[in-house]
Amino acid sequence: MPVFEYQCRECRKRFSLLVGVVAEPSAQVCPSCGSADIGKLISRFSRVRSEDDVIESLADPSKIGDPENPRDMADWMKRMGREMGEDLGDDFDEMLAGDEGETELE
């Protein structure tokens, strides 16, 4: 079932509604103020990618950069962490940063 985004014309709140395909659709009202004066917004859509698709995309050599360049490898590791839902945190940045901003991976 699709999820549509709306904005209330009275309180200006934005919200999403799960819209099913039924013969008699339920009344669509603002969950904040209850107004039926709402407008559908144009929004981006996305598709759900499996974990295997994400890993395959990240393992593409053209997206890694130069494997001999520590900065490219660090950027790739950060991208992989974000895509996998992991926050590598400040400790990761500190580990990579040397005295002059150089990486320690060399």
Q: Read off the pLDDT of residues 37-50 as tens digits, 9 standing for 90 and up.
A: 999 888 766 667 77
Considering the entire predicted model, what is its pTM? 0.39
Tell me the mean pLDDT in the region 51-76: 79
Give the pLDDT band (50/70/90) at residue 103.
very low
Q: Does the pLDDT value for residue 89 go beyond 80?
A: no
To the nearest whole number, what is the mean pLDDT of the chain? 77
Q: Residue 98 has what pLDDT?
A: 55
Q: Residue 99 has what pLDDT?
A: 39
Q: How far apart are CA 81 and CA 91, in angstroms?
A: 14
